Structure 1
Amino acid sequence: MRKTFREMSDQKFRLRAFLWHEFKEGKTAAEAHRSLPPVFGENALSKSQCRRWFHRFRSGEESLEDDERSGRPEIIDNDALRQAVELDPCLTTRSLSEQFNCSHMTILRHLHALGKSVRCGKWVPHELSEANKKKRVEVANDLLRRSKNRGFFHSILTSDEKWIQYDCSERKHQWLSPGETPKPTPKPDIHGKKVMICVWWNTRGLVYFELLDHGQTVTAQRDKGQLDRVDLALKQQGVDTSTTLLIHDNARPHTAKITQKKTLELGWEVLQHPPYSPDLAPSDYHLFRSMQHHLAEKKFKSDEEVKIWVTNYFESQPAEFFKKGIETLRMRWQMVVDNDGEYLLD
């Protein structure tokens, strides 16, 4: 948990008082530094800092306070500071200290008093233009109206692709005792073996998946061939394919003429999907997120091992998992409308 400025100030004073006591006991700076960990924990103070304070004590200066800095006001207008950071949240404390003609630590102290803290924004897939946002709202509104029809979500079929690495090692936090060194984690080879999986699913569960051969990616011709196999799988599951509503992204293989022609032949309807919108694709926000979580620390030696794992993963998911993934679309479309087309940051 992050310490408050007051807590940091108290800790600083206690450290200096401890050093002053050690100095009075005739200890050296090195001996005092070795005495710090049992009392204050590891890395409480560096050796150089200890030496500086001992030099200060030897010179006759026994004050434990920081030296005053001339010409640098320590009190600033909090309202003006709040206005500055709310106008531009990306301002650094260094630039603010120059703007308000005060020390860096003064800016930090006042920002903490205002309840401000530093957090990074999430990465988003694309910088949406106003036209992109408008399109997202239009599509979401149209699909919301259609979703009121009986059986709408039950007719949805969705598909997407995902790379699965052979080595899914992750660096994790470790519970350690003071002074204990964390165990290193070998960094996975970003150019290591991986295989692409193509998945088709609906509210009932998995419809069809296949792993592509190494070096292959999805093309329009390959996507066209998959459509036939998916249609057969749906019929084997007793699904009336004439009511199929297909949701997939706007990748070129999905929007190619031969792919569009094939979906028309099958009697499927392709639902609108706004550009740059993985947050509205069930595989991205639901299925693949869950898969990635389960893949953590997995290591595969062959495509066959990947295929077995994927099969077991799908078989282990309850029917409610797939149903929820599709039906969540209604809530997400409404959120896009309410947020004027902005990305959903969940």
Structure 2
Amino acid sequence: MDVDLELGMNISCKELRVLLLQEFRLGHKTTEATSNICSTMSKDALFIRTAQDWFNWFKNDNFELDDLPRAGRPLEVDMDVLKQLAEEDPRLTTRCLAERLGCSHATVETHLRELGKMWKCGVWIPHELSPLQLQHRVDACMKLLTSHRNYQWLRNHITGDEKWVLHVNHTRKRQ
């Protein structure tokens, strides 16, 4: 993560930590180090609490400047396994998929959207239709329009997102 500076320069967290380590080795106090870095870079380049945390690490002889791996659920999932699970049973919820993959449901939802899947009527479906599917829909619509041009049934229907639904159907529920 980079810290944006007022001077138009970018400084990485690691570079900021190197500056903090230099201030620590010079024997400066945390507030003095923060003031020195902020006066050189920008007033929001570093917070005093962040400097205090790093000075505590340095005092405990921990001079590792890179971010260490953290515990918790992984943010990455095996996309092939996720795709296979979603296609085998498209009615699985994100929480169920997350339980099987060992990650959070938000992560699963994000990756399903990356795969082009959308949640519709209780099923994960491909968001985009293939050219063949689109052509089948156009053919079906043209057939309906030409064969029933004079018949009044079409006035009783409305079209929606990828479905034909009777307008007077009050009992239809979402799954």
Fold match (TM-score > 0.5): no
Greater relative contact order (CA < 8 Å, ≥ 6 in sequence): 1
TM range (shorter): 0.3 to 0.5
Give the TM-score of the pair, scaled to structure 2: 0.39
